[in-house]
Amino acid sequence: MKALYHWLGKQVHAWYGTVLFSFLVFIEGFLVMPVSTLLAFFSLENRPKAFKYALIALLASAGGALTGYLIGIGLWKAGGKYFLNMLFRQISLMNWYISLLNIKDGPPLC
């Protein structure tokens, strides 16, 4: 953990530190990871740029969220309805099988 802290501390002061920060915040929009700790680290390491980092975090996070939404729409159009129909068919098939066996005290499946 200490090595990661030192590595990130070097990245803050590098010329590409802002780009790295914006990339990490952007991918937070569709890959869940804690950005608030990253924002706090960058802001405390380089206090004069704290508001700049906050603005970058706001814009990159919104862009990442929009990208995640568009990925979700694409996956839904590619086969989301088919997947949910298959899932609900299996659940109704399990309910039918349980009713066929006349199990009264079994857990409800849907």
Question: Measured at the alpha carbon of residue 40, what is the angle toward residues 36 and 44, in degrees to the nearest 5?
Answer: 175
Summarised one tens digit per residue, pLDDT across range 77-109 is: 888 777 777 766 766 666 666 666 665 655 555
**Predicted TM-score of the model (pTM):** 0.64
The per-residue pLDDT for 36 is: 80
Mean pLDDT rounded to a whole number for the chain: 79
Domain map of the chain by residue range?
A: 2-101
30: which 2 tokens?
Answer: 């569709």
